Structure 1
Amino acid sequence: MLRRLLLLVAAGGLASAQPVVQLHVRIPMRDGARLCTNIFRPSLHGRFPTVLQRTPYRKLSQITPGLKMFLDHGYAVVTQDVRGRYDSEGEFLQVLQEEQDGADTLSWIARQAWSDGRVAMFGGSYVGMVQWRAALSGHPALRAIAPAVAGGDEYFDRYYSPGGAFRLAHRLRWIAENFRPPNRPVADFQKMITFLPLGRADRFVAGRTLDFYQEAMAHPAYDAYWRSRSTRLRADSIRAPALIEAGWYDPFLPSDIAMWKELRRRGHPARIIIGPWGHNMNPEMPGADFGPSAALPLRRMEIDWFDAWLRHSAPPAPSGVLYFVMGVNEWRESPQWPPAGVEFMDLYLDSSGSANTLHGDGRLLAKPPTLETTDRFDYDPKRAVPTLGGANCCNFRLLPWGPLDQRPVEGRRDVLVYTGAPLRESLEVAGPVRAVLYVSTSAADTDFTAKLVDAAPDGPARILTDGILRLRYREGVERAVPYRPGAVVEVEIELGETAFVFLPHHAVRLEVSSSNFPRFDRNLNTGRLQALETQMRVARQT
């Protein structure tokens, strides 16, 4: 059995006077809905460029240190509750309304006597998504954006993995925090993630049917429904130069990189910064010390970006990639991604048929093995492999992210572990990682997972990146392809992107299994629609 793991290997400030604050200003949208808005101006007199933040998480009502930096630099700051959230009128439809509402808000700002007609936007997660939607409008007042950990494709960012598995914990936690009535207690997390059928989980968590959730359940493939909602597929409409901020341990990273590549392909100004961060953009994570340089002055860098495009006070930073190399804790600059000089490196999986657990005989080889062997395990959805670190979102207490030690899961019989020989010299990896496996299963449908790990000589096995593939989507998430139980098929699992140096005496390790729960939903192995299924079967995986 020939199996491969593919890696890419590296060959001016203005002092403010007393700020002027206007709270709860109601800005009318084109349909008459009024969005509640707060305005902070550097001083009573003058016309200023503006930075805008539109949020579903309650607008800022006070001058925070971050806002003060903008004010001190001569920017007016506008914060707004998006439609249907907190003090704003209308219905919160998630993303769909943000293009028009963003454009209407930009028009209103540009008409104000205190505005010089030039606007930038900033913020992360959903607050970054609304920037992309506003940019799609092509509004002439929007001169620059700085979306952080925001992705660019709703299917891949918020609902499904590149291999078609549902982002269970992320979605249900977000629903619990944002759509649960105030008088309804928060559902127990364990009960929330194990609730079946999955298609009714919105009622269990929020106490009501949510149209957006039902639509997501009805469209598990990347079909026309999702393509119509993709920012990336409409990137040619974007004119505002983008400073994209991303993290190696954030689930939005693949889309952040794809968005940057799409903008550059079309010749639009775009720069991406990728740091050793999770969704909160904080380099402090259990299991790793990325050093003092890991935290960047991002607000200062945003101001520089806005100055360049709104004030033309200095040339903008280059439209390239500023990325942090973990392992050696260094920042690197590249005009392209992956960096120039990298080449694919194939590593081959080998064993004597007993790669189960850390103590099995699984090996990673630089050359194809002389004999083909087969490894097996049973995948029981009732005993799914638990999520342990990685690119999780967005409640650290419930589901920690980052380079956590994988040895607790490597002790399970349903986890195959393949470890390379200790390295004699450093090995730098930069770019996408994928695993090619030849598999069969007794089930009508199942999942396969792969995880890239840095195995240190003193024991810890730190996760770098991982992926999951739903077998029905082995030919692409655009459509499901039936599987005949027992048939051997080739699958390619996308593990995402990384930049890491394996140090001497460390080893490259790959884990293979069939679940990563509750980051992703459990495949119940029946082959029927996951949204409707309540029955489970044990799958024999080969």
Structure 2
Amino acid sequence: MSLSNQRGPFTVSHERDVIMTTRDGKRLLADIYRPAGVESAPVLVRRTPYGNRNNDLAEVFNEADFYASHGYLTVVQNTRGRFGSEGVWYPFVYEANDGYDAIEWAAHLPGSNGRVGTFGQSYGALVQYLAASQRPGHLITCIPVSAPLAAFENYWYQRGALELSWTLSYFLNMALDALGGTGDVDRLAQLETLTADPSVRFSPLKDEALRHMPLADWIGTFGAGAPFLADVLHHSADGAYWWAVDLRRQFHNIDVPMLHLGSWYDIANWDTPQYFNGLREQAMSERARENQAILMGPWAHLLPYSQPTSGGTGDIDFGPEAVTSLVAVQLAWFDHYLKNDGQDLPRTPVRIFVMGENRWRDERQWPLERTVFTDFYLHSAGSANTVDGDGTLTAEFPGPESSDRYQYDPENPVPTAGGRFVGGGVRNQDKNQARHDVLVYTTRTQDSPVELTGPIDAYLHVCTDGPDTDFVAVLCDVHPDGFVQNLAEGIVRGRFRDSFDDPQPMEPGAVYELHVPLGNVSHVVAVGHRIRLHVTSSNFPRWDRNTNTGEPIDKVTHIRVAEQTLFHDALRPSRLVLPIIPA
């Protein structure tokens, strides 16, 4: 159903460029959508750095119109330094205070009844958590959709590996916006030549651009369009710079009910359940702790999220139940808390889409209480390379076994094929699993369905011949027709094996047990299918290529080929831990 077909009973009037002044004197611009004839209405606030009349908000009947037509005074504000709002935009840094100010300002607008909720996706979701941590007095509830939690562990970086393609495409997109009114025609023209498809928002860059070294050169390429890239690259280990916007450190300061929306193929797959559980355990009041809910769908990082379809997640269709009106879900939540002064949850705390069966299911907690975390051990006779190798995956503990080896050449990285990132989703893994630098371990064919619902972890015993390298693990469902569906993936950068804020070089030849979290999933492996794990050392251009030298990522200009060994014997049992739900 289209958004316009879900129009409410009220006609909507618009006010443009309404000024709000922040506590430090910056004037931020907002558009206000008013339900006609409503003298006192609850307020919804969305804050965005992408322009309050751009993208989905450029539609004749957009999300803000939808809420206003259902009786909400709806405010859409451009964040500091963006699209006419004064000040300097720096990702995340000003959003806590500016968000507080926006909520309190909106609560006192003419026609407001003083009860405020917030909504928004991605960046627009993170700003909600940041504002809520300041406890604005008129904030009643929030619905963040796909929000990053800890930028070093899972946003600009993934556990120490730079999210190369996303970081560069994002900052390029923001630089084009920032430079558009400066008259810097030459730099704009140069930047526009770098994208693979200029017509696609956040398009990946061209391959030759993504391979450019050193990465520090991008600071000059973007120039004034994205000066903060220098800080992202300079802070290549966790620490105070990242902790300032790590919301895990603020859960105890949040005191409102929240509906956390996410999805299995989304960049925030790891983050969304952590927000839900973190606030369930640590939110300030008992009411806030008891009024947290989560919904996880089968989608990728949709732009926008308001009307998911059964597709849009790569090479798969998740069936009719995946076609969901998220605005209707959000409206019911807002009505409960803002119009009806709800005191208890209006829905079950956990609602998940079970892929494979392609249906929704309600639960009480995450992970599910009945989960049986089960070890599946990697086995081979020493030749697990490629899908034609002898790698297997079983519940049997290993005995004496030969190790598996491969060379990782950063000049010939394993190409990204789907996953959890903007533009990702499901892709057939068959070509990557035909490579000699990919180790493949597969179960027997399933004679009964196996449900995997929960967090997934791999523990790999490995060694390398240099001071640093990466190991990548990808969990797959092998269909009877040969299609290999990626379900989850993760990476560990060797120097961060023990600590994100105190990286240490690897000792060449030393054996380490590396923990590779693969995020969350809910998927039924059907009869006739097989479970597969593949292990390699790159996923490019999603993550930057580890050069195997141990040098700083922004300065390194040369690479070396690494000799990788994976052990799976009785003393070094490499394993995959799967969250199995009993039938």
1:125 corresponds in structure 2 to 122
2:134 corresponds in structure 1 to 137
1:365 corresponds in structure 2 to 394
- Which moves more between the two structures, 311-320 or 420-429? 311-320
Return the letter of the residue paired with 2:518: L
- Aligned equivalents of 1:474 and 1:15: distance in 2? 53
- Which moves more between the two structures, 435-444 or 177-186? 177-186
User: Quick one: structure 1 residues 446 and 14, their matched pair in 2 at CA, closer, same or farther if it must change by over 3 Å?
Assistant: closer
The question of 1:66 aligning with 2:82 is answered: no
- Aligned equivalents of 1:58 and 1:74: distance in 2? 24
Deviation at residue 166 of structure 1 after TM alignment: 0.8
What is the DSSP-based 3-state SS (H/G/I as helix, E as strand, rest coil) of the residue aligned with 2:125? helix
2:175 corresponds in structure 1 to 179
User: Quick one: structure 1 residues 409 and 45, their matched pair in 2 at CA, closer, same or farther if it must change by over 3 Å?
Assistant: closer
Deviation at residue 133 of structure 1 after TM alignment: 1.3
User: Quick one: structure 1 residues 57 and 65, their matched pair in 2 at CA, closer, same or farther if it must change by over 3 Å?
Assistant: closer
Return the letter of the residue paired with 1:370: G
Deviation at residue 241 of structure 1 after TM alignment: 1.3
User: Quick one: structure 1 residues 427 and 45, their matched pair in 2 at CA, closer, same or farther if it must change by over 3 Å?
Assistant: closer
TM-score (norm 1): 0.93
Select the residue among 426, 429, 433 that pairs with 1:403: 426
Question: Does the 8 Å CA contact 2:348/2:363 hold for their aligned counterparts?
Answer: no
- Aligned equivalents of 2:558 and 2:62: distance in 1? 52
The question of 1:28 aligning with 2:21 is answered: yes
Deviation at residue 20 of structure 1 after TM alignment: 2.6
2:162 corresponds in structure 1 to 166
Question: Does the 8 Å CA contact 1:249/1:277 hold for their aligned counterparts?
Answer: yes
- Which moves more between the two structures, 188-197 or 247-256? 188-197
- Aligned equivalents of 2:247 and 2:523: distance in 1? 29
Select the residue among 189, 204, 217 that pairs with 1:200: 217
TM-score (norm 2): 0.86
What is the DSSP-based 3-state SS (H/G/I as helix, E as strand, rest coil) of the residue aligned with 1:407? coil
- Aligned equivalents of 1:324 and 1:360: distance in 2? 34
Select the residue among 315, 321, 331 that pairs with 1:293: 321
- Aligned equivalents of 2:62 and 2:271: distance in 1? 30
Map residues 140-539 of structure 1 onto 2, 5 A cutoff. 140-161=137-158, 163-180=159-176, 181-182=179-180, 183=185, 184-185=188-189, 186=192, 187-188=194-195, 189=205, 190-204=207-221, 206-208=222-224, 210-266=226-282, 267=286, 268=289, 269-280=291-302, 281=305, 282=308, 283-284=310-311, 285-312=313-340, 316-318=345-347, 320-393=349-422, 396=423, 401-539=424-562
1:102 corresponds in structure 2 to 99
Question: Does the 8 Å CA contact 2:33/2:65 hold for their aligned counterparts?
Answer: no
Give the fraction of aligned pairs with identical amino acids, expressed as a percent.
35
- Aligned equivalents of 2:441 and 2:7: distance in 1? 57
**Alpha-carbon displacement from aligned partner over 1:82-103 (angstroms, at most 9, x marks no partner):** 1100111110011111111111
**Alpha-carbon displacement from aligned partner over 1:417-465 (angstroms, at most 9, x marks no partner):** 1111101111111111111111111111000010000011211111000
- Which moves more between the two structures, 42-51 or 458-467? 42-51
Query: Structure 1: which 5+ residue stretches go unaligned?
Result: 1-12
2:80 corresponds in structure 1 to 83
Return the letter of the residue paired with 2:298: P
Select the residue among 12, 19, 23 that pairs with 1:19: 12
User: Quick one: structure 1 residues 65 and 58, their matched pair in 2 at CA, closer, same or farther if it must change by over 3 Å?
Assistant: closer
What is the DSSP-based 3-state SS (H/G/I as helix, E as strand, rest coil) of the residue aligned with 2:36? coil
Question: Does the 8 Å CA contact 1:441/1:485 hold for their aligned counterparts?
Answer: yes
Question: Does the 8 Å CA contact 2:171/2:226 hold for their aligned counterparts?
Answer: no
Deviation at residue 287 of structure 1 after TM alignment: 2.2
What is the DSSP-based 3-state SS (H/G/I as helix, E as strand, rest coil) of the residue aligned with 2:441? strand
Query: Structure 2: which 5+ residue stretches go unaligned?
Result: 1-5, 196-204, 566-583
**Alpha-carbon displacement from aligned partner over 1:140-171 (angstroms, at most 9, x marks no partner):** 1111111101122222342111x311111111
Q: RMSD of the alignment, in Å?
A: 1.8
Return the letter of the residue paired with 1:433: I
Return the letter of the residue paired with 1:196: M
Return the letter of the residue paired with 1:333: D
Return the letter of the residue paired with 1:73: H
1:42 corresponds in structure 2 to 35
Question: Does the 8 Å CA contact 1:129/1:147 hold for their aligned counterparts?
Answer: yes
Higher relative contact order (CA 8 A, sep 6+): 1
- Aligned equivalents of 1:136 and 1:337: distance in 2? 23
- Aligned equivalents of 1:156 and 1:489: distance in 2? 21
- Aligned equivalents of 1:389 and 1:15: distance in 2? 38
Question: Does the 8 Å CA contact 1:16/1:43 hold for their aligned counterparts?
Answer: no
Deviation at residue 329 of structure 1 after TM alignment: 0.7
- Aligned equivalents of 1:429 and 1:17: distance in 2? 45
Question: Does the 8 Å CA contact 1:223/1:478 hold for their aligned counterparts?
Answer: yes
**Alpha-carbon displacement from aligned partner over 1:486-537 (angstroms, at most 9, x marks no partner):** 1111111111110111111111100000001111111000011112101100
Return the letter of the residue paired with 2:218: A
Deviation at residue 370 of structure 1 after TM alignment: 2.8
- Aligned equivalents of 1:297 and 1:114: distance in 2? 28
Question: Does the 8 Å CA contact 1:443/1:539 hold for their aligned counterparts?
Answer: yes
Instruction: Give the aligned length.
Output: 522
What is the DSSP-based 3-state SS (H/G/I as helix, E as strand, rest coil) of the residue aligned with 1:86? coil
- Aligned equivalents of 1:66 and 1:17: distance in 2? 14
Question: Does the 8 Å CA contact 1:309/1:316 hold for their aligned counterparts?
Answer: no
- Aligned equivalents of 1:137 and 1:514: distance in 2? 41
- Which moves more between the two structures, 370-379 or 318-327? 318-327
Question: Does the 8 Å CA contact 1:203/1:209 hold for their aligned counterparts?
Answer: no
User: Quick one: structure 1 residues 160 and 15, their matched pair in 2 at CA, closer, same or farther if it must change by over 3 Å?
Assistant: closer
Deviation at residue 351 of structure 1 after TM alignment: 0.9
User: Quick one: structure 1 residues 297 and 209, their matched pair in 2 at CA, closer, same or farther if it must change by over 3 Å?
Assistant: closer
**Alpha-carbon displacement from aligned partner over 1:333-386 (angstroms, at most 9, x marks no partner):** 111111121111111111111111111111112202332211100000010100
- Which moves more between the two structures, 242-251 or 209-218? 209-218
- Aligned equivalents of 1:316 and 1:342: distance in 2? 24
Question: Does the 8 Å CA contact 1:217/1:531 hold for their aligned counterparts?
Answer: yes
Return the letter of the residue paired with 1:484: E
**Alpha-carbon displacement from aligned partner over 1:199-248 (angstroms, at most 9, x marks no partner):** 332323x2448442222222222222212221121111112211111010
- Aligned equivalents of 1:39 and 1:480: distance in 2? 48
2:110 corresponds in structure 1 to 113
- Aligned equivalents of 2:118 and 2:145: distance in 1? 11
Question: Does the 8 Å CA contact 1:49/1:118 hold for their aligned counterparts?
Answer: yes
Deviation at residue 119 of structure 1 after TM alignment: 1.0
